[in-house]
Structure 1
Amino acid sequence: MTESLSTVLTDLHAKARAALDPVHYDYFAGGAGDEAVLAANEAAFRRLALRPRVLRGNDDRELGVELPGGRASMPVLIAPTAFHKLAHPDGELATARAAAAAGTILVSGVASTTAIARVTAVDPDAAVWFQLYPLADEDVTAGLVRQAEDAGCAALVVTADSPVFGRHRRDRAHGFHDLPPGLAAENMRGRDIAMAPLSWSHVDRLRESTTLPVWLKGILHPADAELAVEHGMAGVIVSNHGGRQLDLVPASIDALPAIVSAVDGRVPVLLDGGVRSGGDVAKAIALGATAVGIGRPVLWGLAADGAAGVTAVLEALRDEFDHVLTLCGGRSPADLTPDMVVRTCG
């Protein structure tokens, strides 16, 4: 058995912090406002306990999950995060190699420092999804969709919680507003990236423009989850942007049950924000998520040791989740159910 994820993450986080420019470390580590939601995402998981089942003969386990847009060998995806070359010279290529080796899905961000076609070329058989924002100029959005399709992406992930960018005190204190010379958001070269408050009609037109499954990310209100289903989304992602947008929202795991209830099995529900252990994965799955996304742990692995560091995070997470699943009496993620989650004090 590998080391616990907490041990792996503690080591990689320390190495990453030592390796990174302090300005760039704060960019990755920081959140919006007073960073209350940033802290709440992890704290909310700690308030939940698991109530195992026993004597269920679970020697033969299968961790994989099928999703619109591909199969993952475990219920863990790599969530979209920006500017991987700030963390390591190999950037998104290293992340893609680790994701492919682990047999999981990489959601590559529109603000990638490597063009999406180069990311998908790392392993043409691996599932890569493309995250984008619905921009004010719909022709620009359409161009990004074509770019993702041409690159062979298996799904689109539309981030809906960013009509304006969050206010990050750490970035303002450092005066960090632009990438250093030599780096760029490669998918956006030569494009107008103006953002504006948009509507469901923009999402409708984007969905109608492609045959790829479209996921909607940044859902916290059950009414929006209902609307996402009505507007033909392939799935929804419960997310507060890792605490980087509005510093007044609930932790992702606290928002999850109401979203699952609203969707009522019609589309899969994913979650990101605060997942730091195999136990966290199990808690989210038990509360109705089909899979979870991880962001900052991947960045710490990348900054510490490139593709090998990301692989270390993914494999420790796989091992830990499998261990928790076994102790909970499960053969597959579907065996984790809401009655197995107990809220504790604190």
Structure 2
Amino acid sequence: MSALVDAQRAAARELLDPAALAYYESGAGSEITRREARAAWSHYRLRPRVLTDVADVDLSLELFGARLRTPLLVAPTAFHRLAHAEGELATARGATASGSLMVVSTRSSTPLEVVAEACGGPWWFQVYATRDPAVHRALALRARDAGATALVLTGDTPYVGRKPRSDGPGVPGIEQMIAVNTAQHLAPGAAADAVDQTPAVTVAMIDELATLTGLPVLVKGVLRGDEAARCVAAGAAGVVVSTHGGRQLDRVVPSAYALPDVVAAVGERVPVLVDGGICSGLDALTALALGARAVLLGRPVLWALAAGGADGVRELLDTLGDDLEHVMALAGAPRLADLTPDLVTAGGGATAWGHGASDPGH
């Protein structure tokens, strides 16, 4: 783990309200998936190239028409105002300053149009299928009109996973934060759960959102190659390999082990992204070499936000970017395109899921 990630997490633990900290850190069930996420990346081993010119290492890439300076992106996470007074605005400014891209959550605690202004560059919007479809349709259209260049449909949340560590008394203010972006779309007298995720969602929603907004739709929460192929066949423009931070179904395969299967299934047809336990340049290099086009950071961004606001987020992304540049040079891969599967081999337990213990904060 990056020393900076460790330091920012320690600072966040001192600064955050205990209920907010439990909300951010908790995982579903016995939290096995959450604990395994980080260690899974370290079970792979690298096969570096030698005598390769790495005097100039370039992290830049293009995703859905956006030119980015880094493949380290900000994953959608909820309620940033629990971490910092400026909430998503600070996160957006930090991401933009580093040349990254923020995926703004449906559960943003700041109006999405205001976050869009703070981004000052490309951004995506994360969508849940809500029980009242008018809510998610209105949010998707608002995101498009505010400048979002892609939608990320979360596919692993028909119900919210049970998290014993944080399923007690709720965090004060969360209901008001949910209402920031959703309340205006509720019909008079609508049930309180109209903004909750619906268990009736199917792959048909991919085309629904794409047709409604004209934006590319990625599906997040994919852990199987056959499911990735099914999403692509239904119109997905990309998939995100993710365990939802270990917050949904416990004991699922870590993202690090699911990634190769998903990449093999969709080939070059669409970009594959990944999140889950990525806390260093070596983690990111491993993910990119296994076929991910970019990686997303969830909890580390929240720790950075709590510890230092926009500057903390920028420092996190810049530091991990510098770390990625360094290890790419050592691996003999000066461009992202040079990060190919032959650089990575299973080893140190990579085929033994669950062996080893990760830092429980990631």
TM-score of Structure 1 vs Structure 2, range by shorter chain: over 0.9
C-alpha distance after superposition, 1:55-79 (max 9, x if no partner) = 1112122111111152221111100
Letter in 2 for 1:138: P
SS at match of 1:14: helix
**TM-aligned CA deviation for residue 181 of structure 1:** 8.0
Letter in 1 for 2:197: M
SS at match of 2:258: helix
**TM-aligned CA deviation for residue 22 of structure 1:** 1.1
Letter in 1 for 2:183: R
Equivalent of 1:288 in 291, 301, 316: 291
- How many residue pairs get aligned? The number is 340
> Identity, % of aligned pairs?
45
Equivalent of 1:188 in 182, 187, 201: 182
Task: Name the structure 1 match of 2:312.
Answer: 309
Report matched runs for 1:242-281 at 5 Å. 242-281=245-284
Separation (CA, whole Å) in 2 of partners of 1:162 and 1:181:
19
Task: Name the structure 1 match of 2:49.
Answer: 53
Separation (CA, whole Å) in 1 of partners of 2:176 and 2:226:
43
Equivalent of 2:134 in 134, 139, 145: 139
SS at match of 1:131: strand
Task: Indicate conservation of the 8 Å contact 1:71/1:104, yes or no.
Answer: no
**TM-aligned CA deviation for residue 238 of structure 1:** 0.5
SS at match of 1:169: coil
Separation (CA, whole Å) in 2 of partners of 1:168 and 1:94:
28
**TM-aligned CA deviation for residue 128 of structure 1:** 1.0
Letter in 1 for 2:181: N
* 1:71 to 2:74 alignment: no
Letter in 1 for 2:242: S
Task: Indicate conservation of the 8 Å contact 2:9/2:304, yes or no.
Answer: yes
* 1:85 to 2:77 alignment: no
Separation (CA, whole Å) in 1 of partners of 2:72 and 2:211:
28
SS at match of 1:129: strand
C-alpha distance after superposition, 1:287-345 (max 9, x if no partner) = 00001000111000101111111111111100000000000011111111112112223
SS at match of 1:236: strand
SS at match of 2:195: coil
SS at match of 2:162: coil
Task: Name the structure 1 match of 2:98.
Answer: 102
C-alpha distance after superposition, 1:19-58 (max 9, x if no partner) = 0011111111111110000011111011112111011112
Separation (CA, whole Å) in 2 of partners of 1:145 and 1:183:
18
Q: Gapped runs of 5+ residues in structure 2?
A: 187-193, 350-362
* 1:14 to 2:16 alignment: no
**TM-aligned CA deviation for residue 96 of structure 1:** 0.4
RMSD (CA atoms): 1.5
